[in-house]
Structure 1
Amino acid sequence: MTAQRSTRQRDVIARVLEGAEGPLAVGDVLERAQATAPGVGIATVYRTLKLLCDQGRAHPVTLDGDTLYEASGKGHHHHFSCTRCGRVFTLHSCPVALPSGTVYPGGFVVETHEVTLYGRCPECVAAG
């Protein structure tokens, strides 16, 4: 019975990541998973996130020194961090035209890039 419960909990955690508007902190994953499966604990979240990363179904995102997690397979994208509510959103368009292979002065060759924009999300703007 324990194996079935763990599998159900892992499925809930995977669905939380897949349905998120952006990368989530471990505490956010726990809170959202518990809304569907109240028995989910923090250790299960950590184990499942590691498993999902090992399987290539999720990956860590480092933002301002914190590690967040998001589902894999979203292609090239960037993030928007709300300075008011703290949520992080996935941006599906790239604000930077910087192809791989671009050479910067000094001989720096670009392989990839990450961009995080900071400001207020639409809900926080509407709230004033």
Structure 2
Amino acid sequence: MTATRSTRQRDVIARVMDDAEGPLAVGDVLTRAQTDLPGLGVATVYRTLKLLTEQGRIHPVTLDGETRYERAGRGHHHHFSCTRCSRVFTLHTCPVALPSGTVYPGGFIVEAHEVTLYGQCPECAQAP
């Protein structure tokens, strides 16, 4: 494998991550990247996701026990997981008014929170 090919693969995978509407599983990244690079293998996707994570360009998100990846720097946000099509979307509004420093009943001091809502995305909700 040449350095040029490796760079092209990295660029395509980085673009897939930048264009994603929400966190992607490794298989999703592979499928989307194979549109431009049909011969792309899953090992290259794993290596590139590791590199992009180390560079701080993406970060892992664990949803339902599965690691997905999303672009870093999106600020405070939450996720919606469609129970029909399994896609995960980024929600930019926060359904929880619990700022950092809040003392939760029992003496728990809130530092951060994550929320995942489950249901049907608009596309699946309209499908028969």
* Equivalent residues in 2 for 1:1-128, closer than 5 Å: 2-128=2-128
Q: How many residues align?
A: 128
Instruction: Give the superposition deviation at 1:39.
Output: 2.1
Structure 2 unmatched ranges of 5 or more: none
Moved over 2 A (4+): none
Question: What do residues 61-96 of structure 1 show as CA deviations (whole Å, max 9, x unaligned)?
Answer: 000100000111111100000001100000011111
Output the aligned Cα RMSD: 0.9
Question: What do residues 24-82 of structure 1 show as CA deviations (whole Å, max 9, x unaligned)?
Answer: 00000000000011121111100000000000000000001000001111111000000
Structure 1 unmatched ranges of 5 or more: none
- Percent of aligned pairs with the same residue? 80
CA distance in 1, matches of 2:19, 2:92: 15
Provide TM-score, normalisation by structure 2. 0.97
Find the residue that maps to 1:39 and give its secondary structure: coil
Provide TM-score, normalisation by structure 1. 0.97
